[in-house]
């Protein structure tokens, strides 16, 4: 069962096979990244963390451009970023996990400008750590939640707090191996406005929100499925007394995975929010929660913000307090940062006859690409967008394409809106 979970991890390393059109600001250029995250610092300044060739790099957008520094060489190359948070003082903390589940690492910047690295390892040689989560408490100190998985399928959910001296204090949330799960359990902390810490835990086949009570913890089921199971990282957010959580749900007997969004306010509820997709981010906006995800047809992938398609892998997504959105897109060239003062609202469609439309546009041109089974692409041509947003494209090539991609770049934001059509060849 663990193998099925790992197949759903978004293959950043396969990005070497294709090139994106995102013309946003370059954050990084070089070898493909293993993982990347976007967070906002004081004043909504974007902060990007990424892993490339076993090195952690932090990039901050300054007036003169992106300031990138690589404070750490990691103990492994196959590493994912499970969390990135920036304190009100502008100090970032990064939570990393080896994808084989053998360790968690916390890298955090301190007031002196130095970086501190702390490692969390499983209790036993055969134990594994599932996808974990990071938040900052009201003092700006890291809070970490993770679930330890035993080969017996029993688990231990743990909460790690950081004291004023920077020392980790670990607390067990669950006992007696509950819940048992055949796959790795995921976990993420939630810091409530009053400072209370809650923990969201996902496992086969459900999700639970754990809240502290005197001397213990109590759980509230958020979601359960007879046909699917949560996999990968858990994203959380809070607005007032309402907790939001999102994760990827695998459906082994039904088809592609989906992104589930759950909430717990006056009542607990959950539903599939994006079909045929893998979660990238959950953010709260003035109009409510929004999700970023990625959808793949073979090796051809499309970034998503809600139902809006984008040309590139959605590596990070954030919302400013004033409502503007920031997006981090990954391509084989590296990482690009883009910003829009308004919500993403342009929809590109592409039919089997290569005609389509750009809802929200009345000019410009659509670039059409044909893609092979390995995800590599070839530019076919540029086709004008009519006043009603429609376009008519064509491809004279004799060789069938595995997929077609239509891309329209917004001239005001440089956002590369896109549609992906799988031909089934």
Domain segments of the chain as ranges: 2-345, 348-422
Laid out side by side, the sheet with 355-359 consists of 347-350, 355-359, 390-392
The Cα 337–Cα 370 span in angstroms is: 25
Specify the pLDDT at position 111: 82
pLDDT tens digits, residue range 68-89?
A: 999 999 999 999 999 999 999 9
Q: Is the pLDDT of residue 3 over 90?
A: no
> Of the candidates 274, 166, 188, 198, which has an alpha carbon nearest to the alpha carbon of residue 232?
188
Q: What would the mean pLDDT of 110-135 be, rounded to a whole number?
A: 95
Residue 248 CB partners (closer than 8 Å, separation 6+): 8, 230, 231, 232, 257, 258, 259, 260, 277, 278, 279
Domain 2-345 has CATH 3.40.190.80: no
The distance in angstroms from the start CA to the end CA of the chain is 29
Q: What would the mean pLDDT of 325-337 be, rounded to a whole number?
A: 94
Q: Is the pLDDT of residue 37 over 80?
A: yes
The Cα 179–Cα 373 span in angstroms is: 40
Q: What is the CA radius of gyration of the chain?
A: 21
Predicted confidence band of residue 137 (pLDDT cuts 50, 70, 90): very high
Quickly tell me which residue has 């086969």 as its tokens: 204
Per the prediction, the chain carries an average pLDDT of 92
The Cα 3–Cα 285 span in angstroms is: 35
Q: What would the mean pLDDT of 38-48 be, rounded to a whole number?
A: 97
pLDDT tens digits, residue range 242-254?
A: 999 999 999 999 9
pLDDT tens digits, residue range 280-324?
A: 999 999 899 999 999 999 899 999 999 999 999 999 999 999 999
Eight-class DSSP state of 13: G
The Cα 55–Cα 75 span in angstroms is: 9
Residue 347 CB partners (closer than 8 Å, separation 6+): 307, 308, 309, 358, 359, 360, 417
Q: What would the mean pLDDT of 252-280 be, rounded to a whole number?
A: 96
Specify the pLDDT at position 4: 31
Q: What would the mean pLDDT of 61-74 be, rounded to a whole number?
A: 94
Q: Is the pLDDT of residue 35 over 50?
A: yes
The Cα 4–Cα 9 span in angstroms is: 10
Specify the pLDDT at position 425: 62
pLDDT tens digits, residue range 408-420?
A: 999 999 999 999 9
Longest dimension (CA), the chain: 71
């Amino acid at each position: 069962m663990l193998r099925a979970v790992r197949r759903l991890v978004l293959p950043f390393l396969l990005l070497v096979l294709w090139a994106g059109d995102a013309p946003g600001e370059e954050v990084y250029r070089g070898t493909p990244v293993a993982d990347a995250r976007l967070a906002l610092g004081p004043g909504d300044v974007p902060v990007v963390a990424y892993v490339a060739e076993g090195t952690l790099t932090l990039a901050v957008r300054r007036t003169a451009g992106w300031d990138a520094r690589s404070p750490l060489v990691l103990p492994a190359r196959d590493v994912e970023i499970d969390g990135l948070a920036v304190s009100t003082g502008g100090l970032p903390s990064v939570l990393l996990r080896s994808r084989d589940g053998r360790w968690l690492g916390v890298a955090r910047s301190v007031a002196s400008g130095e970086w501190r690295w702390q490692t969390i390892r499983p209790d036993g040689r055969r134990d594994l750590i599932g996808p974990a989560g990071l938040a900052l408490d009201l003092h700006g100190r890291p809070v970490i939640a993770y679930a330890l998985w035993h080969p017996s399928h029993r688990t231990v959910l743990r909460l790690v707090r950081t004291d004023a001296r920077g020392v980790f204090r670990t607390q067990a949330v669950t006992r007696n191996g509950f819940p048992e799960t055949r796959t790795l359990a995921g976990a993420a902390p939630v810091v409530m406005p009053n400072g209370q810490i809650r923990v969201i835990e996902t496992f086969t086949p459900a999700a639970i929100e754990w809240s502290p009570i005197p001397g213990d913890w109590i759980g509230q089921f958020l979601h359960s499925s007879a046909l699917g199971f949560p996999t990968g990282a858990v994203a959380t957010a809070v607005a007032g007394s309402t907790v939001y959580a999102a994760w990827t749900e695998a459906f082994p007997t039904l088809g592609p995975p989906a992104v589930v969004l759950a909430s717990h306010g006056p009542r607990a509820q959950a539903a599939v929010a994006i079909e045929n997709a893998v979660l990238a981010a959950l953010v709260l906006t003035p109009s409510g929660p929004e999700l970023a995800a990625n959808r793949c047809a073979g090796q051809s992938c499309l970034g998503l913000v809600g139902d809006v398609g984008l040309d590139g892998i959605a590596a990070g997504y954030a919302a400013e307090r004033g409502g503007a959105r920031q997006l981090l897109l990954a391509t084989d060239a590296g990482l690009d940062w883009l910003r829009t003062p308004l919500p993403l609202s342009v929809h590109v469609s592409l039919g089997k006859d290569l005609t389509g439309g750009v809802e929200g546009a009345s000019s410009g041109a659509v670039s059409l690409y044909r893609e092979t089974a390995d995800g590599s692409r070839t530019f076919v041509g540029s086709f004008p967008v009519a006043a009603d947003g429609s376009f008519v494209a064509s491809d004279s090539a004799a060789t069938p394409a595995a997929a077609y991609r239509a891309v329209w770049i917004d001239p005001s934001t440089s956002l590369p809106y896109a549609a992906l059509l799988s031909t089934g060849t």
